Amino acid sequence: MSMRTATILLSLLLPAPCFAGLASVELPVERMLSATVGPRPVPNAVFAPAPGALQAPAFAGTLTIGSSPLLAQPGLTTPVLEGRDARVLPGITLSFVSDGSTLVPVERGQMVRETAPGAVASYWRVIPQFGRVWREAADGGWSRAAFPLMLVNDTENHAHQGLATFLYRDNQVSRLRVQFVQQTAPYLQSPHCVLWGSAPLAFAQLDARRASTERTAATGELSTRLPSRPLAELRQRLPPGTLDGFGGPVLPKWQVARGLVFDGTLYYEAEPTSYGDYPYPLEMRFGVRSVMKAVAVPLSLLRLAEVYGAEVLNLKIGAYVPGLDPKWQRVRFIDAANMATGFGGTGTHETRPNNFFDGYLDADYDGWYTAPASAGKLAHINAHLKPYPWEPGTVLRYRDQDFHLLGIAIDAYLKSKRGPDSDAWDMLRHEVFEPIGIHQAPTVRTRETGGVDGPAWFSAGYYPTLDDLAKIALLYEDFGAHGGKQILHRGLTQDLLAARGALDKLSDNPRPRAQDAPPPQYYKMGFHYTAYTGTRSGKMHLLPTMSGFGDNEVILFPGRIVAIRAANVANVPAGEKAPSADVDATLRAVDRLAPF
């Protein structure tokens, strides 16, 4: 193992105030072997080795996890959707190997589906991430394993960040203890809650050759992560108050995690939960909702433009998605990417002043959103979204359906060039993500007949880590180049970052702005542009911004600085405040750090 990889492994854990043996106190062997579930989750520190923990023997095995109930606090409003219960941990199979003190899930970064449901199917899939193994003297001959586990769903883009632990000894394992203590913004499932439970485990040996292969692959993946340090360390090096407000305007209670790329290092911080610090902040995966719009569509179009030429942007949606209204024959890929298809048919038909979100959730939005299969989503679009009286490319109206259609069209275009087995998201994984060090890219796909996964949603659905989002942002900042190779079309990427050709969300483009009008709010290819006047230049910058429901946000600053916020601003209780009125809090913090 290289020194760099070893350093990355150590950075998986935040330093947490705990004493040696906490796990064996809170979850002693007898509790780990028992099906009894406590009245509340235990401290999060139980799921990581404390200072003074002992080295554990190697682990290599496959665990069959039985479907089991989850307790929820507070209770869910509508726990059962489409016959699937959110109070049930899915029955699944996961394999693990240890590499030193690191626990390596074979299925890391994958949306693992339920394969052995109980009496009621689970609403969830799971994503396991890198964890740890250790021993505690009080456990006798048992060793402990723990790993981050995300509850995710294949109908929406909602994630519960969780923790799991089990004991192992020779060919024996205990039950699996789980708790889910943080989450990105819920939509169909509410309110915000914690979930916890205990599940039966069955153990089987993992082939030694496969175990060796997985250890090698894991070492390679970890070695490509960005250098990372806790954000608290950067704060300590800076003048007091420099980073005050970073992560705002969302108040800390409603933030999940923050990331700041500065001088080539990813500084990270997770908001404390009711059960203490989350011990694996770099392993958290988030449901980032419409941040996906600034990932899937521009990366696909800019990659295809680099391979096949910039004219890809002018291809017509109707030529690649059959059965649509004839007007789609005039809608270019770039029109859909700019939310300017001239479709929607709901809200006002007035174009002056422009109204970006007018009619966004009209026309039975949830009917489209929850339709499982691609054909059902397309049929819903045809039935509910009608032509507006203006031409494509002229007026903005925000529609998730436009990005979904564009994803289908991009996928069809790729198939026309490379054959029927081609897939747009797989193209991104292999030709964009892997070269920049993103080895796993879980995302929601349509659910086709027989449980088969269909095309990836291009409107939402991605479950990235802080490291993933940082690398994607840096690829844009570097004009689509990485490691001496041009991955994205350079000129078009430069245009995107500079907002050239972007449309104004607040007024029609031909209409001049009044002198006292607010700063422009532009949109292009999934990006919003945040206006801010820098203290050094005295000029207004249009900062490319990825934004998603729940106040998830990634802002690109000059100098390869990136600010990342994962948040859960949704279903906020009456009388509570989530964002403050200080909308420039993060912008000012970065400006103090590195004036621009």
Domain boundaries, the chain: 3-223, 289-521
State the virtual CA torsion across 509, 515, 516, 518 in degrees, nearest 10: 30
Strand ranges (E), 444-551? 445-447, 453-456, 481-482, 485-486, 503-504, 522-524, 527-533, 540-548
- Please report, for residues 86, 105, 233, 297, 519, the alpha-carbon distance to residue 466 in angstroms, rounded to integers and kept in the order given: 26, 19, 17, 20, 30
DSSP element (H, E) containing 471 = helix 466-477
DSSP 338: T
- In CATH, what is the architecture of 289-521? 3-Layer(aba) Sandwich (3.40)
Sign of the Cα pseudo-torsion (231, 234, 236, 240, in order): negative
- The position carrying tokens 């009456």 is 574
- Tokens read off for 476: 């844009």
- Tokens read off for 471: 């690398």
pLDDT of residue 512: 52
Largest CA distance in the chain: 76
Sign of the Cα pseudo-torsion (374, 375, 381, 387, in order): positive
pLDDT of residue 351: 75
b/e map 306-333, b = 16+ CB within 10 Å: beeebebbebbbbebbeebeebbebbbb
pLDDT of residue 3: 41
- Tokens read off for 515: 């002198």
Can you tell me the distance from the alpha carbon of 335 to that of 396, in angstroms, rounded to the nearest whole number? 9
Query: Using alpha carbons only, how large is the chain's radius of gyration in Å?
Result: 24
The burial class, CB within 10 Å (0-12 / 13-18 / 19+), for 283 is buried
**Separation of CA 45 from chain center:** 24
- The position carrying tokens 């330093």 is 15
- Tokens read off for 551: 């106040």
b/e map 551-583, b = 16+ CB within 10 Å: bbbbbbbeeebbbbbbbbbbebeeeeebbeeee
Strand-pairing partners, residue 105, are 96
3-state secondary structure 117-164: CCCCEECCEEEECCEEEEECHHHCCCEEEEEEEEEECCCCCCCEEEEE
The one-digit pLDDT tens for each residue of the chain (596 residues) are 544 554 455 445 444 334 347 899 999 999 999 999 999 999 999 999 999 899 999 999 999 999 999 999 999 999 999 999 999 999 999 999 999 999 999 999 999 999 999 999 999 999 999 999 999 999 999 999 999 999 999 988 999 999 999 999 999 999 999 999 999 988 999 999 999 999 999 999 999 999 999 999 999 999 999 999 999 999 999 999 999 999 999 999 999 999 999 999 999 999 999 999 999 999 999 999 999 999 999 999 999 999 999 999 999 999 999 999 999 999 999 999 999 999 998 888 887 777 899 999 999 999 999 999 999 999 999 999 999 999 999 999 999 999 999 999 999 999 999 999 999 999 999 999 999 999 999 999 999 998 899 999 999 999 999 999 999 999 999 999 999 999 999 999 999 999 999 999 877 655 555 556 667 789 999 999 999 999 999 999 999 999 999 999 999 999 999 999 999 999 888 888 999 999 999 999 999 999 99
What's the whole-model pTM score?
0.95
Please give the order of strands across the beta sheet that includes 552-557. Answer: 228-230, 265-270, 255-262, 561-567, 552-557, 540-548, 527-533, 522-524, 503-504
- Tokens read off for 12: 């998986």
pLDDT of residue 515: 57
Cis peptide before 281 (omega within 30 of 0): no
- Tokens read off for 586: 């993060």
pLDDT of residue 14: 43
Cβ atoms of 143 and 118 within 8 Å: the answer is no
pLDDT of residue 15: 40
DSSP 84: E
pLDDT of residue 383: 95
Cβ atoms of 152 and 124 within 8 Å: the answer is yes
CA atoms within 13 A on the CB side of 577: 9
Neighbouring CB atoms inside 10 A of 456's CB total 26
Q: How many helices (H) and strands (E) does the chain have?
A: 14, 32
Strand-pairing partners, residue 554, are 546, 564
